[in-house]
Structure 1
C-alpha cells in the first residue's frame, strides 16, 4: 500500500485551510485519511508560528514506515528539521520557449536592418547632396516653365 503525507484542503471558498494528513495514495485529496499530523494556514503571515503546525514525532514515524511526502509537505518537514530536502536545480526553467526566441531574433534582425538603412540614409545625402539639390532645382524650373 502506497502511503503519502499530503495536504487535505478545508475552509471555504477563497479562504483555504489545510490539514497535513497521512493517507493512502489512492484515496481522494479531501477524503479518507489514516492520521492527521498537522495543519497549515496559508492566510497567516510567513513568520507566524501558527502558520504550520506539525507533529514531528508522528511525521518521523510515518517516514520511517515508508510514507512519501508531497513537495509542499517536504518543505514543511525540512523547515521543522524532520527531513532533509535536497535543493532542486532546473537551469532551463528561466529560459524562454522556442516561439519567444524566434520573435526575439526577428526583432533583432529588423532593428539591425533599420539601423543599417538609417546609417545609409545619413551617409547618402552627405556625399551627393549638391548633385541632388541641383537636380531637384532643375526639375522645379522645368515644371514652372511648362506650366506657364
Structure 2
C-alpha cells in the first residue's frame, strides 16, 4: 500500500478548508483516509497561527513509515522544518507570449539598447 500525505478539501463553496491527511494513494481526494495530521485554512491571513496546524510527531511517524507528501504538503512541511525545503516546481509557460511576440519584444529591446548607445556616444562627442 503506497501512502500519501495530502490535502482533503472541505468547507463551503468558495470558502475552502483543507485537512492534511495520510491516505492510500488509490483512495479519492476527499474520501477515506487513515489519519488526520493537521489542517490548512487559506482564508486566514498568512501570519495567523491557525492558518496551518500540524501534528509534528504523527507526521514524523508517517514519513518514517514511507508516506510521501504531495508537492503542496511538502512545501508546508519544509516551512515548518519537518523536512528539507523542497524546490518550487517549474511553472507552466502558458501565461507567456508566443514565439513571434517574444521575438518582437527582443527586437524592440535591441533597438532601444542601440538607440541608447548611439545617444550616449553622441553626447560623449559633444
Q: 1:21 to 1:102 in 2, by over 3 A?
A: same
Q: 1:91 to 1:67 in 2, by over 3 A?
A: closer
Q: Which residue of 1 aligns with 2:63?
A: 63
Q: 1:76 to 1:89 in 2, by over 3 A?
A: closer
Q: Which residue of 2 aligns with 1:42?
A: 42
CA RMSD between the two structures: 2.7
Higher helix share: 1
Deviation at 1:43, TM superposition (A): 0.1
Greater C-alpha Rg: 1
TM-score by length of 2: 0.75
TM-score by length of 1: 0.64
Tell me the SS of whatever aligns to 1:16.
Answer: strand
Tell me the SS of whatever aligns to 1:38.
Answer: strand
Q: Which has the higher contact order (CA 8 A, sep 6+)?
A: 2
Number of residue pairs the alignment of both structures matches: 108
Tell me the SS of whatever aligns to 1:75.
Answer: helix
